[in-house]
Amino acid sequence: SGPRASAMVIDTYRQGKQFAKAQQEADASEKKYPADRGLRLVRASLQAEMGKAEAASRREWMEQSGNSVEVDV
């Protein structure tokens, strides 16, 4: 499926330490599949590995609680 394939691409870039490419794919995937939980978790893993764990966990918490997702990273 589309979201799952995107998640695999993001994770492959992340594992290869190609964080800029992974971030680009994550941004594009988020716009294309905004409600996909799996993509949100892969994006959070990417942000955590990039040293943005606090922003990633805050963002996930905001989405789960139904609040706006405006988080500075």
Q: Retrieve residue 49's tokens.
A: 């590995």
Average of per-residue pLDDT across 27-48: 89
pLDDT at 71: 43
pLDDT band per the 50, 70, 90 thresholds, residue 64? low
> Model-level pTM?
0.70
CB 62 within 8 A of CB 71: yes
**How wide is the angle at C-alpha 68 spanned by C-alphas 27 and 36, nearest 5°?**
45
pLDDT higher than threshold 90 for residue 7: yes
Rounded to the nearest integer, the mean pLDDT of the chain is 80
